Each structure stands twice: as C-alpha cells, then as structure tokens.
Structure 1
C-alpha cells in the first residue's frame, strides 16, 4: 500500500513559473491513501485543489491556522495580533504589496500575508516589537502569524481526525514553513528548489526541482509499495 501524503503546493506541485503542474491531475486523483494539502495559502485555495482533483477535502491552510478534514474545521491563531502588526507596519510606511484587490488576504482567517517585495526588515522590526507574532518567509510571501501555529501542528490535528498517526505520513515540501511538517512525519522530502531550512530538515533532498521532484518521490513510493 502507498503511504498517506502531506503535500505543500507552491514550489512543490507547481512549475518553476508558479503554475499548477498538470501532472497533479494525473498522479494524485488515484493515490490510494489519504492526501492532505498543506499550504500557506488562504483556506479556499487548497479546498478548490482537492475538489478539482476529485479528492476528499483534507487541507491545512494558512500555515496551520486552518485545518479542514472531512467536514471538521479547526481554526487556531490570533488574527487580531497579526493585523495589529500589519497596521503598525503601514503606519511606518510599509506596504503589503498586493494592490487594491489584495486577494492574498481577502479570505484569510488567521494570519496576514505580505508580498515578498515588501520591506522585510521593517516588517520584522515591527513584529519583534509586538512580541506576540512571528514572520515566516515561504519564498512567496511573508506570513505574519501566531508563533504557536504551524503546518506540523496542523497535520497532527488532521491525522487525529483521520485516525492515522502523523508518523505514517510522507511529506514533500520546499520551504521554511514545511520544516514543522518534516519534524512530525515518518519520512520527508525536500525538492531541489527548497530553501536552506527545508533542505536541512528533510530526510532526503531529491535531485529534481518543483513538480519534477515530487513526481520523483511519488514514483519511488509506488515502486516501494508494489
């Protein structure tokens, strides 16, 4: 039997240009074990991905701030503290960097995402002064969130709901926010484009990048279970 999976999305299931790789629709619908999508994106994004894949909606969103498994929702974190930091950041001349629409935060429930092009030093300075939030760099955004929120804690909640031990999962990811997931699963892989934190925490760093690396991992898992 193939193992259950916990998969990051950006940088892991995407092309180098950030598009969802079409091989997701070839490989994941028929994976014969639970698949949990764990992402820094807002709640609707991984739910939509699971739905379009025809899989049950089992997701960890907002870096662990929202966990949704088979109709059960768990929301953790303090969005008010995150927004207070962001407002202080703005008062000192900072800009979230998303423009007028800001779809990055429109449906976000537990944290605030700031563009990777924003003033990182100022954002971190304001967050440090507040003391009750942290800033996580996912490579795609700076996430202002409660320090007790993480994908790893989210996976533990998801696994409990599913009746599966977290150590039975295999994780694939590429970023600092995947480190906590790597720490609680039994087997973890960083794709070749992963940042230093993810590479250091993973059991294995695969040779290929982005979805090519994930395909490499899934093929090896299938071969091993055959």
Structure 2
C-alpha cells in the first residue's frame, strides 16, 4: 500500500497482551508499515527508544505524556521536571508514597514528569498537584503528575512538523485518557475494546478486539 498514512501508536494496552508485555504479533506489521510510525507513551523516554531499537524501526518517539520526544536526530523537551519534583516532595512530606519501592525503576530515567502507583493516596496527590499548578493523569497503569500544558497531542504537533506532516495526516491508536489529545489532532483514531471511557468517547472507532488484537484489526482496516 503506497498511500498508507503515518501512525502514532500508544504502547501499554495497545501493543501489549492482556497480561502485560509486548505482543510479538505486532512487530512485523509495525516494522513493515509503509509510512512513518511514531510510538507515543506515558513511559520514561528510554523505554520507547529501546522498543524501536529492538523492533527495529526508526526511533521516532513521544514519551512521558508529551514531555519529551525524539525525531530526526533531535530531542524535543517540553516538560520541566523541577516543577514535578517540588510537588512530589510536598506529597511525601504529607505522608504520600510513590509506591515503587526503594529502587524506583519507573522514575529512574524519567526526565519531565513523575509516575505514581495507582494504589497511592489519590486525593492527596490531586490536592498537591493543584497547589503546584500541575495535573494528574490516570493512564490505567499509573498516575502521572505533569504540567497541564504538555500532552502527547501537543508534542505530536512538533514531531509532525519536523517530519513534514500535519498532525491530521496521522492515524492514532490508543487506549487511555492520555491518548485523547492525540485523537483530537489525528485524522483518524481507533481505541481497542479495553480502552477507558475517555479514550472510547474520543476515538472515531472503538474496536471489538482488546489490546493488541484491536490494534492488529485497526491496522488491517487502515490498509483495506
């Protein structure tokens, strides 16, 4: 297919199996996609870069909910980790716990935001976020404390420009509220059956298949 659109793909819940981990069935169709692919995730910057390396595809990524990206040998940074660090210190001083243990591999390489376990004190976290001019996003896998003016969708605008595309040229697939901003800018959007309510409401198409099954179905539909 020579006129395939570029893709912007979430990872967790979209390229994964229900029990977690990348579904290896997505490797070939993503690797062989005849247009550029951008991986857009809430995970720390090194994770999507590594996934691109091992697929392998070009290292076009949006990470940390739009806080940082890589495209065409350029690193784009939007978020300010100092703001979130101050808020997390206040959260801990008030008795909050990030929940990842002493060796926090979830945040060790995170540059622009902080991720907190879903069993943390949500009310306290949201109060501290408000006091520091930040917001909390629930991706279904963690709470993310970040700047309200950063999102996957806003970073897609910057990435698309450097690739010579408009955001509306992209087809987006994602499953969580942090994908809504991408859906709002992409030309077409798909949510797998496991998607949360906000993603389902924002998507053009809600698929019958969940997780990678839904994504593989979407890729077939786009090419048909």
Same fold (TM over 0.5): yes
Structure 1 residue 195 displacement after superposition: 0.5
Work out whether residues 6 and 169 of structure 1, in 8 Å CA contact, stay in contact via their aligned partners in 2. yes
Residue deviations 1:95-143 (CA, integer Å, cap 9, x gap): 000001111111000001111121111101111122x211111011111
Report SS of the residue matched to 2:47.
helix
Does the residue aligned with 1:97 lie in a helix, a strand or coil?
A: coil
Aligned length, in residue pairs? 222
Q: Distance in 1 between matches of 2:214 and 2:53?
A: 24
Q: Is the 8 A contact 1:39 1:63 kept in 2?
A: yes
Q: CA deviation at 1:3?
A: 1.0
Instruction: State the match for 1:14 in structure 2.
Output: 16
- Taking the TM superposition and a 5 Å limit, the aligned residue runs for 1:148-159 are 148-159=149-160
State the Cα distance separating 1:147 from its structure 2 match.
0.7
Give the corresponding residue for 1:37.
39
**Structure 2: any 5+ residue segments left out of the alignment?**
none
Using the TM superposition, give the Cα deviation of residue 210 of structure 1 relative to its aligned residue in structure 2, in angstroms.
0.3
- 1:164 alignment partner, SS class: coil
Distance 2:190 2:27 in 1: 21
Distance between the aligned counterparts of 1:75 and 1:127, measured in 2?
21
Give the Cα–Cα distance (whole angstroms) in 2 for the partners of residues 63 and 129 of structure 1. 21
Query: Secondary structure, in 3 states, of the residue corresponding to 1:113?
Result: strand
What is aligned with 2:89?
87
Provide the secondary structure at the position in 1 that maps to 2:83: helix
Q: Distance in 2 between matches of 1:221 and 1:181?
A: 17
Equivalent position of 1:52 in the other structure: 54
Partner of residue 164, structure 2: 163
Report the secondary structure of 1:36's partner residue. strand
Q: Show the counterpart of 1:133.
A: 134
Query: Partners in 2 of 1:54 and 1:61 — Cα distance?
Result: 18
Distance 2:112 2:53 in 1: 22
Residue 119 (structure 2) aligned to one of 117, 120, 124: 117
1:136-159 C-alpha deviation (Å, 9 max, x unpaired)? 110111111111100001111110
> Which whole-Å deviations, capped at 9, do the CAs of 1:160-195 have from their partners, x for residues lacking one?
010011101000000000000000010001111000
Provide the TM-score with structure 2 as the length reference: 0.97
Task: Give SS of 1:123's match.
Answer: helix
Give me the whole-angstrom Cα distance separating, in 2, the residues matched to 1:133 and 1:215: 35
CA distance in 2, matches of 1:24, 1:43: 21
Matched, 1:197 2:202: no
Stretches of structure 1 that go unaligned for 5 or more consecutive residues are: none
Q: Which of these residues, 87, 92, 103, is aligned with residue 101 of structure 1?
A: 103
What's the CA shift string for 1:66-104, capped at 9, x where partnerless?
010021111012211111111111111110000011111
